[in-house]
Amino acid sequence: MKRIFLISTILILSFTGIAQPTQTIRGRVIDKESKSPLPGATIVLLNSNPLIGTVTDVDGNFRLSGIPVGRQSISISFMGYRAVAFEGLIVNSAKEIVIEAEMEEQVIQGAEVEIKAYSIRDETINRMAAVSARSFSVEETEKYAGSRGDVARMAMNYAGVSAANDQRNDIIIRGNSPGGLLWRLEDVDIPNPNHFAENGTTGGPVGMLNNNLLVNSDFSQVLSLPNTATPLAVCST
């Protein structure tokens, strides 16, 4: 009878298995100097498979459940702080383990990262402008000789563009009349963007387009008026 009982017990244990007792490790992660909580710190049970871990809440508290009894070790890490390890913690089924981890700040010096932007001068803002057009930036208006911060005088340095008079900023493009120029600001046509301009002209002694208030603009030398050979200069923001 005893033999039958022993065999039955072995069979039952083999099918059902023996439940391994577990316990909970909880605690709080704080700054060593200020004693303030560290939310988002990572807590990992070492040598656990599958991996057991958690993160601290807004008050720096954490809780690891289902820890097998025995000697266990945990690791605590947080960005900008030295990692802390608690090794050889004796976990038993009678009582939870409560720890308070103080983390020390660690200065992390990263490698220098240099970011450079490159632009293609031939690429215009207006994608429909395929030929005889280019884009210029606000910085370029200050670099061209004799521009005086005037967009029109800056364009005089381009190939095929010349000045009608040193006292005015009328632009002659490919030998055509300055009266055929068209200025456009934010898709709005401007007859003459200059101070003290004369009727029927597109230039003047002083430009009223402040280059410091413009973004990158397009300069186009295209034939866009039907049945004419008048080029257009376009300034758009």
- Asked whether residue 193 is assigned to any structural domain, the reply reads yes
pLDDT confidence of residue 224: 46
Q: Which residue range is the domain that position 70 belongs to?
A: 20-103
pLDDT confidence of residue 163: 75
Q: In what order do the strands lie in the sheet with 22-31?
A: 61-68, 22-31, 97-103
- Asked whether residue 117 is assigned to any structural domain, the reply reads no
Of the residues 55, 86, 103, the one at which a domain ends: 103
Same domain as 148, residue 75 = no
Q: Give 131-151 pLDDT, tens digit per residue.
A: 666 676 666 666 666 667 677
- Asked whether residue 140 is assigned to any structural domain, the reply reads yes
pLDDT confidence of residue 59: 93
- Asked whether residue 175 is assigned to any structural domain, the reply reads yes
In total, how many domains does the chain have?
Answer: 2
Q: 37: burial class by Cβ within 10 Å (0-12, 13-18, 19+)?
A: middle
Strand partners, 231: 223
Instruction: Give dist(CA 213, CA 206) in Å, integer.
Output: 16
Same domain as 140, residue 206 = yes
Q: How many CB atoms lie within 10 A of CB 210?
A: 10
Same domain as 154, residue 94 = no
pTM for the predicted model, two decimal places: 0.43
Higher-confidence residue of 22 and 236: namely: 22
- Asked whether residue 9 is assigned to any structural domain, the reply reads no
DSSP string covering 186-214, please? TTEEES--EETPPTT-S--SEE-S-GGG-
